[in-house]
Amino acid sequence: MPVDQTLRLLREGYGWLPNQRRRTGRDVVHLRVLGRRAVSLCGPEAARFFYDEQHVRRHGVIPELVRSTLFGHDAVHTLDGPAHRIRKHMLLSLLTGPGVPELVDRAAAAWDAAIQSWSDLGMIVLFDEASRVLTSAVCEWAGIPLEDEEETSAVAADLRAMVDGFATLGPRHWRARRARARREAWLIRLIEDVRAERRVVPAGSVLEVIAWHREGGGQLLPARVAAVEVLNVLRPTVAVSWFIVFAAHALHRWPAYRNRLREGDPVFIEAFTHEVRRFYPFAPFVGGRAVKELSWWAERIPAGALILLDLYGQNHDARVWPHPYRFDPDRFIGRRIGAYDLIPQGGGDPATGHRCPGEEITVALLNTLVPRLAWLEYEVPEQDLTIPLNRIPTRPRSGFIIAGVRPAQRADTGEAVTGVPTAIGGKPPSSA
C-alpha cells in the first residue's frame, strides 16, 4: 500500500503532483492522500476523461476544510447530475453574456477612481487595493449595498481570507472560516429581507436572482444555501486580485510588455491575460471520485478512488506548452485554445461540467484592468517578491508594494492618461 502523501503535499505544494510524475517516471501515479487511495492524471485527454460525469463525480469529494472556507456547504461545486446543471445554469445566466460588460465597466470606473487615493497614500499594497476595487464593483453590480469605504474594506478582507485560507490547517484556515461565517450571516439577512419585501433590489441582479431561484422540485433555496451561492459570485471576482498582482509581477520582470499593452491591441491584451493565467500558480489540482472501476492508459482505477487532475502540472507541461517556464504571451496569438488545454480554472464546458462559471468574468476583468495597470507609472521599492510554491494559494510575499503611483503621460502631448486612452488602440474587450 502506498505511503500517505499528505505531509509531502503540504511541503511541496504546487510541485507535489509534478514531482510525483518525475519520481516515478509515469504519467499516471497511484498514491494515497488524506488517508484515501488516489490516482493522479495530467494532460488534455486526462482532463477530458476527468470532466466526464460517466467517469468522475464531485459529490462527497471536496474536503470539509475547503467547503468551510472556499466554496461553502451545499454549493454548486458539491453537486452532480441534474441538480448541478440546474444550479449551474442559474449561475451562468449571471456570470456570462450581457451582464459581464456591466461588471467590467464598474470595475474599470472603481479602478480609475482609486488612482488618486493611491497617489495620495504614497505607498500601497497592490493586492489589497485591487481587492477593494473589485469588492466595490462586484457588490454594486450584484445589488448588495456597501455603506462606506470602511465596510468595503471589511468585506474585501473577508473575501480575500476565504480564498487565502482554503488549503492550510493553520491560522489562515481559521481566519477563512470566521470570514465565511460572518459573510454568510450578512447575506442571509439580506436574502431574508428581499424575500420578505423589506428590501428592494434591482431586477435581474445577483442578489435578486439567487434569492428567488427555485431548484428542480420548485422549492426556494434555503437562505443559507442562497447566501453560499451569492458568495460564490463575490468571492471568485475578488480572487482576480491574485491575477492582477501576478500581472504586476510579470510587468516588473519583463517590462517590455508594458508598451505592448499600452498600444491597446485587444489580441495581445487577451494573450497576455491568458499567459498570466497559465504561467502563474493558482489552483494546484482538482479532485473527483471514480463512479465505477475505470481504466486509463491501461491503468486500473478502482471504483470510489480519488482522482486528482493536476492543473498546475498541465499548465506547465512542455508537451502542451513549449518552453513552459518561459513567460511568452505570443504563444496564444493565433492559437485556438481547446476546452481541455488551458485549465487554471478547470476544463470542459462550463455550461454542463464543473469548469468555473466565472472564468469569462475573470478574463474580461483582466483584459480591462491589466492595460490600466500598464498605463500607471510607479516605483517598486525593495521588498520580497518571491512566489513560494509550497503556499497554496500563493502570491508575491509582499503583496506587491508600489510607491509614487501616478498616471503615465502621453508621449505626443505630455498629458496624464487616466483609464485607457481610446486614441491608442481603443478600450480592451470586456468579454472573453
CATH code, domain with 174: 1.10.630.10
**What sign does the dihedral 409-412-415-421 (CA atoms) show?**
negative
Query: From the centroid of its chain, how far is CA 136?
Result: 17
pLDDT top residue among 218 and 410: 218
What pLDDT, on the 0 to 100 scale, is given for residue 410?
Answer: 61
Mean pLDDT, all residues of the chain: 90
Q: What is the mean pLDDT of residues 361-389?
A: 97
What nine digits make up the cell of 317? Answer: 507541461
Cβ atoms of 137 and 103 within 8 Å: the answer is yes
Residue 336 within a domain:
yes
Residue 20 within a domain:
yes
Residue 421 within a domain:
no
Residue 41 within a domain:
yes
Using the predicted structure, report yes or no on whether residue 219 has a pLDDT greater than 80.
yes
List alpha helices for 122-170, DSSP H: 126-142, 149-164
Residue 242 within a domain:
yes
What nine digits make up the cell of 248? Answer: 504586476
Residue 251 within a domain:
yes
Q: What residues form DSSP beta bridges with 401?
A: 125
pLDDT band at 349 (very low <50, low <70, confident <90, very high): confident
What nine digits make up the cell of 178? Answer: 470566521
Of the candidate ranges 138-142, 184-188, 215-219, 378-382, the one whose mean pLDDT is the lowest: 215-219
Domain containing 143 equals: 6-407
Count of structural domains, the chain: 1
What pLDDT, on the 0 to 100 scale, is given for residue 334?
Answer: 94
Count CB-CB contacts under 10 A for residue 217. Answer: 7
Q: Percentage of residues in the chain with pLDDT exceeding 70?
A: 93
What pLDDT, on the 0 to 100 scale, is given for residue 70?
Answer: 81
Using the predicted structure, report yes or no on whether residue 17 has a pLDDT greater than 90.
yes
Residue 388 within a domain:
yes
What pLDDT, on the 0 to 100 scale, is given for residue 3?
Answer: 85
